[in-house]
Amino acid sequence: MLNRVIAIALIAAYPLLVHIALVFAVPQLLFIAPMLFLAGVCWQGLGNRNKTVWLVFGLLCAAVVLLEYLGLTLYLLFLPPIIIPLLLLFIFGRTLLNGREPLITAIGEAARGPLSQAMRNYTHRLTQLWCIVFAVMILWSAILPWLEQPELWSWFTNIINYGVVGVLFVGEFMLRKKLFPTHNHPGFFEYLRIIARANIRS
């Protein structure tokens, strides 16, 4: 549990440090932020002394050092806000193909058993909504670097992106309770645990 908390904290520090670095002109943080992010992603394997993970971690850190030496670190930072929502769009979007069960429907049924048709329709539309959100994030994360305004890019990718996800996540939870008042809804933290236990690859 502690290792998971540490890993999440290291990863969560990344957008905050990048934003501080760009808005308050602290360039050293542009070098530190990706190192902490890589440490968070690899934390479990590093803690288990997995030689492969240590090798990959070392190579990636060396690449960050090289980019810093070449003065290209900022360009490296442009990639995660595109790659992460692109990956999520793929994970969510592929479940909307014919013959597949929408991801949020699958998570709900795996946690609670068969859903009503109304709830299945709702979770289908909700999966579509998340796909639209991820697509919009990809779009502005790809366009903003061309404006050559790093601070504006940072506000969108390191603050607004996460704010949109948080508002949609909490807002949808509250809306669902109003739309389906007779449904046996879990508490918010139980809802988080259901999602955390879900196999997002299914």
Show Cβ contacts of residue 67 under 8 Å, excluding neighbours closer than 6 positions. Answer: 73, 75, 76
d(CA 57, CA 39): 7
d(CA 13, CA 158): 10
d(CA 196, CA 161): 20
Looking at residue 156, its amino acid is: F
> What digits encode the pLDDT tens for the residues 32-58?
999 999 999 899 888 888 999 999 999
Per-residue pLDDT, averaged over 65-93, amounts to 88
pTM of the model: 0.80
Q: What is the pLDDT of residue 169?
A: 87
Q: How many residues does the chain have?
A: 202
Q: Is 107 left (phi over 0), alpha (psi -120 to 50) or beta?
A: alpha
Show Cβ contacts of residue 111 under 8 Å, excluding neighbours closer than 6 positions. Answer: 194, 197, 198
Q: What percent of the chain has pLDDT over 90?
A: 39
Per-residue pLDDT, averaged over 192-197, amounts to 64
Q: What is the pLDDT of residue 96?
A: 92
Per-residue pLDDT, averaged over 13-29, amounts to 89
What DSSP character marks residue 116?
Answer: P
Going by pLDDT thresholds of 50, 70 and 90, the confidence category of residue 201 is very low
Average pLDDT, the chain: 86
> Is 183's pLDDT higher than 90?
no
> What digits encode the pLDDT tens for the residues 143-177?
999 988 889 999 999 999 999 999 998 898 888 88
| Residue 159 backbone phi and psi in degrees, to 5 | -120, -60
Q: How far is CA 176 from the centre of its chain?
A: 22
Per-residue pLDDT, averaged over 74-102, amounts to 89
